Amino acid sequence: MHRQNDLIKRINENYSKFSKGQKLLANYIIEHYDKAVFLTAAKLGAIVGVSESTVVRFANELDYDGYPKLQRALEELVKNKLTSIQRMEVTSDRIDKTHVLKSVLQSDAEKIKHTLEEIEVEVFDQAIEMILKAKNIYILGVRSSASLASFMGFYFNLVFDNVKLIHTNSVSEMFEQIYRLDKDDVVIGISFPRYSKRTLKAMEFARSREAKVIVITDSPLSPMIQFSNCSLIARSDMASFVDSLVAPLSVINALIVAICIKKKDKVLDTLENLETIWAEYQVYDNDEELKINYNLNLEQKEK
């Protein structure tokens, strides 16, 4: 697994044997990586003053299988450094403004496709076993990831009696809710660029207490990985102003379904009890009530 500064490390280790053109590329990337990440091989070559083939050979020299892999490494380097304004500018440049709906849905579909190709089934199964064996299950996600944590917490609460969804607006509040952590507990941390320091601090604390840590994040280079026992990677969008959470939500959905299958009897018992309560307290409109209301509205209109 590569460290977060892996691209810069590769450049520094190989710099002395680069050709003149490759050194120009290396210098440009180190000084302007936030611009280089959005350039094609041809455009990068034109800016630096070398050919497109020199750019491709440069990527190969760094042991990347083609320029797209080098560009992916650049994305990992820059993703957490882009401000919201920069992310908005990049989105505006990339998106087809005449077909916004189609562009966004296609982009989200591609993220799910890439996640399916890259996620490790063994790691997914390991996460399921950790959750099933846990004394307590802590779920933490802040900012846009809070919606993912809340979704997971809602369904986990139907299956388990030991779920703690961490609500926090500050680091002190967070530690007040997780200070009892121990080695028999599991912490599920969810974070995507720009990564939350609060979530990272919680994961670091969980590891110090020897709790099992499952992280749901976007890349093997995510800072969340250093604290995890088990990492579930789901593609997000490194440049979008609006975080794309479709792929991580799909992975969470898969976790919920897998756990419900493992605990089928408990889930059925819970749902039977809840159906009785829902009916007694009229939590949901049933079909008969909907028909009565519909007919009453029709009669009033006819009068």
Q: Which one-letter amino acid corresponds to residue 278?
A: W
In the prediction, which pLDDT does 300 show? 60
Residues making up the chain, counted from first to last = 303
Distance from C-alpha of 214 to C-alpha of 227, rounded to nearest angstrom: 9
**Domain assignments of the chain as residue spans, ordered by start:** 6-78, 119-262, 266-302
In the prediction, which pLDDT does 221 show? 72
pLDDT of 85 strictly over 80: no
Span 119-262 CATH architecture: 3-Layer(aba) Sandwich (3.40)
pTM of the full structure: 0.69
* Token output for 15: 């710099």
Distance from C-alpha of 39 to C-alpha of 104, rounded to nearest angstrom: 21
Phi-psi category of residue 67: left, alpha or beta, with phi > 0 → left and psi -120 to 50 → alpha: alpha
Phi-psi category of residue 235: left, alpha or beta, with phi > 0 → left and psi -120 to 50 → alpha: beta
Strands (E), 32-136: none
Strands (E), the chain: 137-141, 163-165, 186-190, 212-217, 230-233
Distances (CA, A) of 245 to 38, 102, 250, 301: 22, 17, 9, 44
In the prediction, which pLDDT does 239 show? 47
Query: Closest Cα to residue 131, out of 224, 262, 247?
Result: 262
Which CATH number does 6-78 carry? 1.10.10.10
Average pLDDT value for the chain: 84
Which contiguous run of DSSP H or E holds residue 233?
strand 230-233
Query: What sign does the CA torsion over 255, 258, 262, 267 have?
Result: positive
- Residue-wise pLDDT for 246-286, tens only, equals 999 999 999 999 999 999 888 888 888 888 887 777 776 66
Q: Is 106 in a helix, a strand, or coil?
A: helix
In the prediction, which pLDDT does 86 show? 58
Distance from C-alpha of 77 to C-alpha of 58, rounded to nearest angstrom: 18
In the prediction, which pLDDT does 79 show? 67
- Which of the listed ranges 16-20, 77-81, 229-233 does the model predict with the highest average pLDDT? 229-233
Mean pLDDT lowest for which of 39-48, 178-187, 221-230, 292-301?
292-301
Of the two residues 34 and 246, the one the predictor is more confident about is 246
